[in-house]
Structure 1
């Protein structure tokens, strides 16, 4: 098959092809296998993959113009392959970042040394909407705040990995990572014959074990996954993880607090709960402590956690550490707590609080990316070079009206990889969300969720904005290519 040919790579780092148009060594076997199929075979396999997602109910909810639509995650069969050498850097960098951010959270809700020493401006914490002041001195189990993290990585035009974003509250998408692999193995078994990969399926037992690390009871401990319910956009994620970890999926009405302990209602009566993996935002967890109008949480849950009778993971108050305004200080956080240089670099980030910097950014809106520090999923974001004059003016007004709500970053030339869509091959921009679990120790799950901007020329990989997913392979050391 001749359709998968090298394309122009001079201005972007490409995952599969070198700048001279040659296939990179760790992609050669896959490339040769793809070329052995004709166009109709690939089209049929592509349709089979999409149908497999639909049959299994692998969907997410897209909210737009006050309407919700249930849809499958668009899938592309050409995987992202990470060499064993690159994976060592990613794994070590993610582990370092998790340890640094956890130390920061423990300090912020404790002695506040990093603020007293002036490493981080106090206003970034005390004015942060995700900072919960009454958590100071809270008994966080294991003195650990991060059970599951999703760290978003990109590769720049030199192929260097950089952290784009930290997700420490309720990172989603882990189920899609597993289902991408499941579909690939069933629809494209030929791809796996000549490759030795890390098996992500083997990480589900450690995920459960890590969750149970947070229980103070060693025997008969019970963990549950607390979901907002079927109408949540990530509900499939909740169902999958609860099933795979062998824990009960519950809603707020299934739990009750009695005597500062949490119990689950069952047909056999009340059963004590030790660990709650919550997929509900802080504000809605407990109507007694947070929003009184919440119908999603459990009254008295905060009291039970304060008494040390139940662990809530990820911990309350984590949002202060993955806020986009704080992101620029994560390298300083790593140096301060770990006395190490960051292994993975940040993307350059500019705060808009200072008038001089704000003026500089406003003069270059058409060259920069502007992000709302409190938004995610690609919402309330400006990509200057791809924006209309109307949108540029809108963001100019937003920044002038509320400058502390936004940050600016240079437009990174995201790496590209070939995709097969609409019965044709073309290059698309990609990023990678790597998941790490943390209990008594930190484990980085090999691979991750590769997200791809399937619209030609688009830089937005979020599924809510038209992006899709790819399987992610990590080659074991000594892999034959």
Structure 2
């Protein structure tokens, strides 16, 4: 989403901001940017970088120029997100149930059953309320005037929502006068929405007052700040594996007043570490017997075990057909054009133009394990060529997109275009599907860069959805 149209005129959604900037003192944005950094540092809004010997924790750079989306555009985007996440939930229910989409040839069977995130333990099982993806983060990009396209789906343990909320609080503190000139839909209600959604997904025995906890692997996890932030905002306990135990297929929390039953676990631990009796026996962060309690229907895990199949990048390439199969209509949000390197003809084409493409590992994340052809050396391209030939099933390829840009404060104090993406957050429960009005805008701060991940030097922006 750029502040200007293809013809160079200011987009309608940005006109009020443009007028405000024209009358603002020249150094105002730089001054407010320094204040934001100071506030974030004092509050400890950080993330960890694995393998970084210089610093265990960093501030995510925050750009004080908001990204603005008009009401009509957002409403269409919201429709597409609800359709996509509903189809993902139906897909997961199906592959662990009747497997109609496999029988119909919509998705190859081997892509499911050899997927590292497929959990045979869940075959024939139904989570409470039939909800598999309580919290989803869908990564979107814009290319020119073509509208939004889905870059990837995140339905295991999607992160970043704390930065969406902190960014909004920071902008309201720094620019109250600018807020007063816009009608902006609130994102502050997200935690209320999340709490209501999780409560509605509790097992039937829990009644009207289910006990919720947030399960974290601990303070050394890269997203620990977010785990702590969400537990605080939700008003629930932040627990580690050792704080919980299972007795007679029921999960309990250790408290100073004795054991307390737990009904819903918002877990930020990957499947393989959840229960050492079912998955990895060397897991020091899981709860022995948790899967038995889960299988007995005595506790809700959010998100459900086995959802990782749906955010695999190879499965992503089939998502348009999955949506058609389960919704009965065409996708409102399209995919980015993608080559499946597992297919011989696609692999041949990808190998012929590696220097023009972005190649990704199907199980990769965080900007790691990928090749950006136009920005790579010949040696890097040849190394990746060897990987592709050796194991083509592990990769997909996409064109190097002409991503849209948003006005961003540059190092000289002026505004420059920088490439952005958007991660809206979608909540699902037996009551329906809701989308927080906004999301996390990630921005590539280096001129010309297409990599927005915070672990790769990207930053974030507040995302304003106008209510007009």
Note the C-alpha offset of 1:154: 0.4
Aligned partner (choices 231, 237, 250) of residue 226 of structure 2: 237
SS in 1 for 2:16: helix
| Structure 2 residue 436 is the aligned partner of structure 1 residue 445 | yes
What corresponds to 1:464 in structure 2? 455
Deviations 1:112-154 (A, max 9, x none): 1111121111111011000011211123111110110000000
For residues 53 and 65 of structure 1, do their structure 2 counterparts lie closer, same or farther at Cα, with a shift above 3 Å needed?
Answer: closer
1:78 matched to 2:69? The reply is: no
Paired residues for 1:128-277 under 5 Å = 128-215=115-202, 216=204, 217-277=206-266
For 1:452 and 1:53, how far apart are their aligned partners in 2?
18
The CA deviation at 1:430 is: 0.4
Query: Is 1:212–1:221's contact at 8 Å kept on the other side of the alignment?
Result: yes
CA contact (8 A) 1:76 1:421 kept: no
Any conservation in 2 of the 1:370–1:383 contact (CA below 8 Å)?
A: yes
CA distance in 1 between partners of 2:321 and 2:222 (Å):
35
Cα pair 1:170 1:279 within 8 Å, conserved: yes
Query: Which runs of structure 2 are paired with 1:69-468 in the superposition (5 Å)?
Result: 69-215=56-202, 216=204, 217-422=206-411, 423-440=413-430, 441-468=432-459
Alpha-carbon shift at residue 56 of structure 1 (Å)? 1.0
Classify 1:463/1:272 alpha carbon distance in 2 versus 1 (closer, same or farther; 3 Å): same
CA distance in structure 1 between the partners assigned to 2:343 and 2:7 by the alignment: 44
Q: Identify which range, 137-146 or 324-333, moves more after superposition.
A: 137-146
Q: Which residue of 2 aligns with 1:5?
A: none
Deviation by residue 1:406-457 (Cα, 9 ceiling, x = unmatched): 0011111110011103223211000000100011210000000000000111
Shift of 1:243: 0.9
Q: Is the 8 A contact 1:331 1:346 kept in 2?
A: yes
> CA deviation digits over 1:41-81, x for unaligned, max 9?
22211100111111111110112356752111101111111
Q: Distance in 1 between matches of 2:322 and 2:90?
A: 9
Distance 1:182 1:65 in 2: 29
Structure 2 counterparts to residues 48-63 of structure 1, below 5 A: 48-63=35-50
Once the two structures are superposed, residues 205-252 of structure 1 have per-residue CA deviations (whole angstroms, 9 ceiling, x without a partner) of 121010111212114420100000001000111011111111110000
For the Cα contact (< 8 Å) 2:133–2:304, is it kept in 1?
yes
CA positional deviation for 1:202: 2.0
Change (3 A) 1:296 1:45: same
| TM superposition shift of 1:39 | 2.7
TM-score, normalized by length of structure 1? Answer: 0.95
**What's the CA shift string for 1:275-301, capped at 9, x where partnerless?**
001000000000000000000000000
Indicate the larger mover: 137-146 or 310-319. Answer: 137-146
Q: Distance in 2 between matches of 1:264 and 1:302?
A: 16
* 1:171-217 C-alpha deviation (Å, 9 max, x unpaired): 00000000000000101222111111111112321210101112121
Structure 1: 4+ residue segments shifted above 3 A: 64-68
- Given that 1:147 and 1:313 are in contact with CA atoms closer than 8 Å, whether structure 2 keeps it comes out as yes
Q: d(CA) in 1 for partners of 2:214 and 2:108? A: 36
- Give the whole-Å Cα distance in 1 for the aligned partners of 2:126 and 2:355: 47
Distance between the aligned counterparts of 1:114 and 1:266, measured in 2? 45
Partner Cα separation in structure 2 for residue 117 and residue 32 of structure 1:
55
Q: Report the 3-state secondary structure (helix = DSSP H, G, I; strand = E; otherwise coil) of the residue aligned with 1:200.
A: coil
SS of the residue corresponding to residue 201 of structure 1 reads coil
Residues 238, 74 of structure 1: CA spacing in aligned structure 2 closer, same or farther, 3 A cutoff?
Answer: same
Q: Is the 8 A contact 1:159 1:415 kept in 2?
A: no
Per-residue CA deviation, residues 80-129 of structure 1 (Å, 9 max, x unaligned), is 11101101111000000011010000000001111112111111101100
Give the whole-Å Cα distance in 2 for the aligned partners of 1:245 and 1:398: 44
Alpha-carbon distance in 1 for matches of 2:328, 2:228: 40
Contact 1:261–1:272, Cα closer than 8 Å, also in 2 = yes
Q: Determine the C-alpha separation between the residues in 2 that align with 1:379 and 1:368.
A: 16
Structure 2 Cα separation of the partners of residues 75 and 291 of structure 1: 38
Shift of 1:469: 0.3
- What 5-or-longer segments of structure 1 have no aligned partner? 1-13
Corresponding residue SS for 1:356: helix
**Which residues of structure 2 form unaligned runs of 5+?**
none
Distance of 2:126 and 2:13 partners within structure 1 = 47
**TM-score, normalised to structure 2's length?**
0.97
Residue 456 of structure 1 aligns to a residue whose secondary structure is coil
- Which 10-residue stretch deviates more, 258-267 or 58-67? 58-67
| Superposed displacement of residue 462, structure 1 | 0.5
Could you tell me how far apart the structure 1 residues matched to 2:55 and 2:146 are? 37
What is the aligned partner in structure 2 of residue 6 from structure 1? none
2 CA distance for matches of 1:66 and 1:46? 27
